[in-house]
Each structure stands twice: as structure tokens, then as C-alpha cells.
Amino acid sequence: MLSKYFVPAIHIFIWAILLSIPAIVFHNVKFETGLPDNFFWITNFYHIGLFYLNAYYLYPKFFTKKRWLIYLILIAGIIEGSYYGKLFFLRLLDPSFALSSINDRIIFFPPIAFLIASFIFRTIVNRIRFEKLEKERKAERLATELKFLRSQVSPHFLFNVLTNLVSLARQKSELMEPSLIKLSDLLRYMLYETNEEKFSVTKEIHYLENYVELQQLRFGEDVDVELKIQNNEPGCTVEPMLLIPFVENAFKHGVGMVKKTFIKILIELKDQELFFKVSNNYSRENSSKDKSAGIGLANVKNRLKLLYPGKYRLSINDKDEIYTIELNLELTC
């Protein structure tokens, strides 16, 4: 209960002190402003509203690289609108109200001070949140590395791949050498290259291609795999092993569960945005027996929330025993 009301209580306490200071400082001080006695109290509550309007709506929504000019226009409009709005209100209360140099400044400048304070407040809050998220991201990366080392390399998958390689060796197949190279690249990626904080999206796609080709070597004609890739942003970076869980999920719950299994994978990169789509058919009856279903998907959802807040859109559609995921992701280039 304490944590729920602590922050609002702090805000109320600070505002109570700030609003009391003028009354204490100017107590018994005589100077004529030409303003009603309750003008300061009424306008200060309005200024507090401006403070929170800017801090929690205008700043987060408009103070960005693409919208900063709109933000400045809105702030200028608020300042000017506040000034003329107060004049209208005062003349509505007292038609004989006269504007002087003193009350003109009192009417005009307070919104500017409150908006500046709001801007500083929001900047500090964002900085604190950013540092907190950075710590969470580092912890998540460490936890993810451990998870991948322990579970992402499926022993069952490797066993089947190696069995197929033995068969190719006995047949002296020309596929033996390229298959070993693909397996070597896959293991190198998983064990060593993913330690980098910024990882090339091209490498991530190459890893996914190797994974799909090895799975095709394992299952052969039992699965129809369609992989389409359009990479117009090879210089962009992405968190390592972010896409593969969706593909693993498709092979895990599709192959062997239904006849005429299909898996369709689409990757498109353009304008610093990644579009990733995976669809596969499956058997609802057989899938319900899998106790581990959904664990990998839950892990990747948590990674997206921590690593790409506000920069991704994930949609999942499960209809007529066809499972489809679509991921839109803003990349750093």
C-alpha cells in the first residue's frame, strides 16, 4: 500500500510547499496588482494542470526527432492561449479590469516557468527510466545467453542432424561438406558471435537460413518449407537470436503432427524496419499434449518488451489449425 500512494503523496507535498511560498513571503506586503485576491490560487491550479499535461502527454508524444517542431508550436500556442484566456476571464469577472505592466507580467510568465519545470522533470524521469532499462537489458542479455547455451541448442535436433550426416558420409554424398559447414556456422553463431551487443541483421538472417536448411536435411520431403528474404538494410543491427524461436516453434509443432506439413517464412527489411512472418499448419489435438508449448514464445515476448519498448508490434493468429505470427520491428542502422 505504501508504494501505491508514495509517489502521489510526494507530488502533493511538493506542490503544497511551492504554492504556500508566495503567500508566506508576501504576507502583509502591500502592493497593488489590480488582480482579484483569488486569482493566484485559481491560476496556480491551472498551471499545475499544464505541468502534468506537458510531462505526461505532450513531451512523450511530440518531443521526438520527427515531431519536435509540432511540440514547439503546441507549447507556444499554450503560452499565448493562456495569456489571452486569463485576460478574457478577468474581464468577464470585472469589465473595468485595467492591464498594467505589473499584472501583465504576472499573467504572462507563470505558464512558461511551469512548462520549463515540467520539461526538466520529464527529462530527469526519462533518464532514470533509461538507466533502469539499461540495467534490465544487460541482465536480460546475460540471462538469455545462459538460456541459449542450455536449451536453445536442442540435443534432439543435433542428434538427428548428425545421424543424417553419417548417412550422407556413407553415401559419399556431395551434400556432406556444405552440410558440415552449415552446422559449424550455426554452432559458432550460437556459442560465440552472439556475445556482441550490436549484431548485424544480415548475420541473424544467415543463421536462420542455415537452421532452416539443416532442418530440411533432417525432414526431407516430409515438410514443405518456403523461405523468402528481401534485405534492403544490411547495415542494420538486431538483438541476436530474436527471430529463431518463432521458426523453431513452427518446426516443433508442425512437422510430424500433420500430413502435408508446410512452413512459410517471410523476412522483409526496408526503411529501417523489419517485417517477419512465420506461418505453419499443425494438429490442435497433438499440440495440446505438449507441456512445453508456449515457453519459447513467452521468452521472446519478454525480450521484445525489454529490448524494444514502443518499437515493435507482434500479432499472433491461430485459426483453422494454421498458426501465424507477424512481427514489425524498428531497427537501429
CB-count burial class (<10 Å; 0-12, 13-18, 19+) for 5 = exposed
76 exposure class (CB count in 10 Å sphere: 0-12, 13-18, 19+): exposed
| Longest pairwise C-alpha distance within the chain | 105
Q: How far apart, in whole angstroms, are the C-alpha atoms of residue 83 and residue 92?
A: 14
Euclidean distance between CA atoms 258 and 252, whole angstroms: 12
Distance of alpha carbon 246 from alpha carbon 300, whole angstroms: 9
Residues of the chain with CATH 3.30.565.10: 195-206+215-330
> Is domain 195-206+215-330 given the CATH code 3.30.565.10 in the classification?
yes
CA distances from 235 to 66, 128, 213, 333 (A): 22, 30, 24, 6
CA–CA separation, 321 and 282 (whole Å): 6
Q: How far apart are CA 295 and CA 124, in angstroms?
A: 37
Confidence at residue 191, expressed as pLDDT on a 0 to 100 scale: 65
pTM of the model: 0.52
pLDDT tens over the chain, length 333 residues: 445 666 677 778 777 777 776 666 555 544 466 677 677 778 888 888 888 899 889 988 888 888 889 999 999 999 999 888 888 888 887 777 777 777 788 888 888 888 888 898 888 888 888 888 888 877 777 666 545 544 444 555 566 567 767 877 887 777 788 778 877 877 776 666 655 656 788 888 888 888 888 778 777 777 888 999 998 888 888 887 788 888 888 887 767 666 788 899 999 998 889 999 999 888 776 655 555 555 567 777 877 887 788 899 999 998 888 889 999 999 887
